[in-house]
């Protein structure tokens, strides 16, 4: 964000997430916190880049609940705050969200939920607008980056006036598209405040019961306020009303123009999606025969529309959605198909928009980066399991290491939610008597939700081997820090936490040392089997992208490796089973290294059975090792 727009004025081309961050700055926030998760990460990441210049506090927290609570406390103390998380992250913070509606806030508190329709980087596509319904927290959806900036700024004012938290719902498409954003002035932030104790902050049953009634009254007030919310608007005229919330409106407006329906439809552009502005909706539906709601995922707005029309006795019918319209993100083609069906227009066959041709794109399976410390680890684990004929259930987790699910490693049998690897392994270890149980979790995920599950494993004696992959950063979402990251000399060593929990078997291993990987893994299996307790292996080496960046910043030469073709026997181990993307097969099946991709890590050397890999020039790997740890 700092590189993109600085702290000046004018117009900038911003990501939706950057626009939200800019809106927060223009609203005068003092505190921001998050746990990184695609597609939300750039909101707090952008604020982090300018925090010192602006004078605000920004934090990458250990999980979403912790981040939410930090910002909630700031808002209770009269300091505007913003937290951001991906949709499943709000599950982690949901306990706090529900109670925040009861306590209210003293200053603006915006909760950004970045949903992921079509699951581009997620395990499900839950619709977090539903959280607004059960938590009594208003939900808003912007259409574009420009509107996202202005809406964010306005929501802080609304939240401050109502003394209530609000949810700003984005989606992957909005978070990561760019659009022009008008930059306004950034006021001096208020970063400190004061807390006034009161019964509403202590949600014991007696206080909470009273707060519940106040909450219901406040929702009615907010409903009336939102009837005049300036971001909602009605335009056009016709016997059909199209209701389009958020980014769906952008597709709807284009589809209407494309189909020539301008004179046949009235449109309600909706930004406040919970509660819907009832007075505006009733005005919009006056004189129409039917209502078509075009929205992503669940029929959230549609159900509110149906309920209101039924309650008020409005005779306009609501066009029912097809089952498949509740899955995946909205597109222009999908919006057009919905309108075609509503107006009895013939459907368009697939491929018509591209002249009937389909571009055949070859499949590109996901792979670990060159130099990734997970590659030699998973290579050796797969080889050890095969050689020793070990029957294992491999309980996986969420991070870069999830790629071990794919060939050639096939080392994740489950991947369900953050911290689920150790949690599921606790159950597997109790009911699967004929298999060893191995759980895999990253350093950031371990601190996020892995620690409680490991405590449970120790206390209840669930035998499993826990592989904690410590690459010293939160790599998958953009290298945000976590407690394992060395920042100004401070960090929390994983082995200290594990030892404090009471784990008996702990071993810290360099994953590039594949001989020791094998040795320690077998030792851990034996300990888990004989002692019937968990054993922990910590595989520590810095993310290759981080190490490479540090080397280049220090002026170090990155020396690629080459293949001695006289030694290479074309066995294919390096490119088929080790699967480094910098290594490929020549026509004669012998290996070759792409110097543009090779990061000079040397992990291929112990993998080759004939010693065919060597650096292209003499290199002091021992000296360079400081960049990898």
As a whole number of angstroms, the distance between CA 40 and CA 1 comes to 14
Rounded CA-CA distance 207/38 in Å is 38
350 — pLDDT class (breaks 50, 70, 90): low
pLDDT on residue 111: 98
Please say whether the beta carbons of 575 and 585 come within 8 A.
yes
Please give the share of the chain, as a percent, with pLDDT higher than 70. Answer: 97
Question: What are 456-509's pLDDT values in tens digits?
Answer: 999 999 999 999 999 999 998 989 999 999 988 899 999 999 999 999 999 999
Residue 442's H or E segment, with its range, is: strand 436-442
| Inter-residue contact 117 to 329 (CB < 8 Å) | yes
**HSE of 364, CA atoms in CB hemisphere, 13 A:** 4
Residue closest to 578 by CA, chosen among 379, 404, 440: 379
Whole-model pTM? 0.89
Rounded average pLDDT over 164-189: 95
pLDDT reported for residue 359: 62
Of 598, 628, 590, nearest to 616 by C-alpha is 598
What string of DSSP letters covers 522-588? HHHHHHHHHH-S-EEEEEE---HHHHHHHHHHTT-----EEE-TTT-----IIIIII--TTEEE-TT
Q: What is the pLDDT of residues 411-445, one digit of tens each?
A: 999 999 999 999 999 999 999 988 899 999 999 99
Domains of the chain, earliest start first: 2-226 (3.40.50.970), 233-348 (3.40.50.11610), 374-547 (3.40.50.970), 556-627 (3.30.70.20)
What is the average pLDDT across 220-246? 92
**pLDDT, mean of residues 55-64:** 95
Residue 553 CB coordination number (10 Å): 9
Beta strand 535-540 pairing with 505-509: parallel
Segment holding 85, helix H or strand E: strand 81-86
Phi, psi of 155 (to 5 degrees): -65, -35
**Closest to 39 in 3D by CA, of 92, 113, 132, 124:** 113
Output the pLDDT for position 227.
Answer: 85
Look at 100-104, 315-319, 353-357, 577-581 and tell me which has the smallest mean pLDDT.
353-357
Angstrom distance (rounded) from CA 420 to CA 276: 36
Q: Which residues of 367-390 are buried (b: 16+ CB within 10 A; e: fewer)?
A: ebbbbbbbbbbbbbbbbbbeeeee
Using alpha carbons, select from 47, 127, 36 the residue that is nearest to residue 89. 36
Most confident of 316-325, 369-378, 613-622: 369-378
Exposed/middle/buried for 346, CB within 10 Å: 0-12, 13-18, 19+?
Answer: exposed
Q: Check residue 4 and give its pLDDT.
A: 55
3-state secondary structure (DSSP) of residue 369: coil
pLDDT digits (tens, 9 = 90+) for 392-407: 999 999 999 999 999 9
pLDDT per residue as tens digits for the range 121-152: 888 889 999 999 999 999 999 999 999 999 99
Alpha carbon distance 579, 408 (integer Å) = 7
Strand order in the sheet with 290-293: 233-236, 265-270, 240-245, 290-293, 317-318
User: What gap in Å lies between CA 214 and CA 431, rounded to an integer?
Assistant: 48
- The set of residues, in sequence order, having a beta carbon less than 8 Å from that of 423 and lying 6+ positions away, is 453, 456
Q: Report the percent of the chain where pLDDT is more than 90.
A: 84
Of 72, 67, 73, the C-alpha closest to 37 is: 67
Record the tokens describing residue 521, joined without a space: 């893994």
Dist CA 77 CA 193 (whole Å): 5
| Contact between residue 468 and residue 507 where contact means Cβ atoms under 8 Å apart | no
Mean pLDDT value across residues 296-304: 93
Residue 356 has what pLDDT?
A: 42
Q: How far is CA 70 from the centre of its chain?
A: 19
Check whether 1 has a pLDDT greater than 50: no
Tokens of 146: 């420009």
> Quick one: pLDDT at residue 353?
42
pLDDT band at 589 (very low <50, low <70, confident <90, very high): very high
Q: CA–CA separation, 73 vs 192, rounded Å?
A: 11
pLDDT at 613 over 70: yes
What's the mean per-residue pLDDT of the chain? 92
Predicted confidence (pLDDT) at residue 333 exceeds the cutoff of 50: yes
Binning the chain into helix, strand and coil, the percentages to the nearest 5 are: 40, 20, 40
Q: Is the pLDDT of residue 200 over 50?
A: yes
What backbone torsions phi and psi does residue 381 show, to the nearest 5 degrees? -65, -45
pLDDT of residue 185: 94
């Amino acid at each position: 964000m700092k590189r993109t727009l600085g702290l000046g004025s004018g117009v900038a081309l911003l990501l939706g997430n950057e626009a939200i961050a800019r809106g927060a700055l223009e609203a005068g926030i003092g505190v921001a916190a998050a746990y990184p998760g695609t597609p939300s990460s750039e909101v707090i990441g952008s604020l982090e880049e300018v925090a010192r210049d602006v004078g605000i506090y920004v934090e990458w927290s250990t999980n979403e609940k912790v981040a939410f609570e930090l910002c909630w406390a700031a808002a209770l103390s009269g300091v505007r705050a913003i937290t951001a998380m991906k949709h499943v992250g709000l599950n982690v913070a949901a306990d706090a969200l529900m109670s925040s509606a009861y306590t209210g806030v003293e200053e603006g508190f915006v909760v950004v939920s970045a949903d992921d329709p079509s699951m581009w980087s997620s395990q499900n596509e839950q619709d977090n607008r539903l959280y607004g319904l059960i938590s009594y927290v208003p939900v808003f959806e912007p259409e574009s980056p420009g509107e996202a900036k202005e809406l964010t700024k306005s929501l802080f004012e609304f939240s401050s006036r109502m003394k209530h938290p609000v949810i700003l719902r984005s989606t992957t498409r909005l978070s990561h598209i760019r659009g022009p954003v008008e930059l306004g002035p950034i006021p001096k932030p208020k970063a400190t405040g004061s807390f006034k104790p009161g019964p509403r902050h202590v949600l014991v049953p007696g206080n909470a019961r009273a707060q519940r009634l106040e909450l219901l009254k406040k929702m009615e007030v907010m409903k009336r306020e939102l009837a005049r919310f300036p971001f909602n608007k009605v335009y056009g005229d016709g016997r059909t009303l199209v209701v389009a919330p958020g980014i769906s409106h952008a597709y709807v407006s284009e589809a209407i123009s494309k189909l020539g329906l301008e004179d046949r439809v009235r449109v309600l552009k909706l930004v406040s999606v919970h509660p819907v502005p009832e007075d505006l909706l009733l005005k919009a539906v006056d004189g129409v025969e039917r209502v078509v709601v075009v929205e992503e995922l669940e029929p959230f707005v549609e159900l509110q529309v149906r309920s209101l029309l039924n309650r008020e006795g409005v005779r306009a019918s609501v066009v029912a959605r097809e089952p498949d319209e509740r899955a995946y993100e909205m597109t222009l083609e999908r919006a057009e198909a919905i309108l075609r069906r509503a107006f009895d227009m013939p459907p368009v066959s697939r491929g018509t928009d591209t002249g009937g041709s389909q571009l055949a794109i070859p499949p590109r399976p996901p792979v670990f980066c060159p130099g990734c410390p997970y590659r030699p680890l998973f290579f050796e684990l797969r080889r050890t399991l095969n050689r020793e004929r070990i029957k294992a259930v491999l309980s996986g987790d969420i991070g870069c290491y999830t790629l071990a699910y794919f060939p050639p490693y096939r080392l994740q049998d489950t991947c369900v939610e953050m911290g689920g690897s150790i949690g599921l392994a606790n159950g597997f270890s109790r009911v699967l008597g004929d298999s060893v149980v191995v759980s895999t979790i990253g350093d950031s995920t371990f601190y996020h939700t892995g620690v409680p599950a490991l405590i449970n494993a120790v206390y209840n004696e669930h035998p499993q081997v826990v592989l904690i992959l410590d690459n010293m950063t939160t790599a998958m979402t953009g290298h945000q820090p976590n407690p394992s990251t060395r920042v100004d000399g401070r960090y929390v060593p994983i082995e200290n936490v594990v030892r404090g929990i009471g784990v008996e078997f702990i071993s810290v291993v360099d994953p590039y040392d594949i001989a020791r990987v094998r040795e320690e893994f077998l030792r851990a299996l034996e300990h888990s089997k004989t002692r019937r307790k968990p054993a922990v292996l910590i595989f520590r080496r810095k993310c290759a992208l981080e190490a490479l960046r540090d080397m280049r910043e220090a002026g170090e030469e990155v020396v690629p490796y080459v293949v001695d073709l006289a030694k290479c026997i074309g066995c294919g181990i390096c490119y088929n089973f080790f699967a480094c993307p910098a290594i490929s097969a020549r026509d004669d099946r012998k290996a070759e290294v792409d110097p543009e991709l090779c990061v000079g890590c040397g992990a291929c050397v112990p993998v080759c059975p004939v010693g065919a890999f060597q650096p292209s020039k003499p290199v002091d790997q021992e000296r360079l090792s400081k960049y990898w740890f």
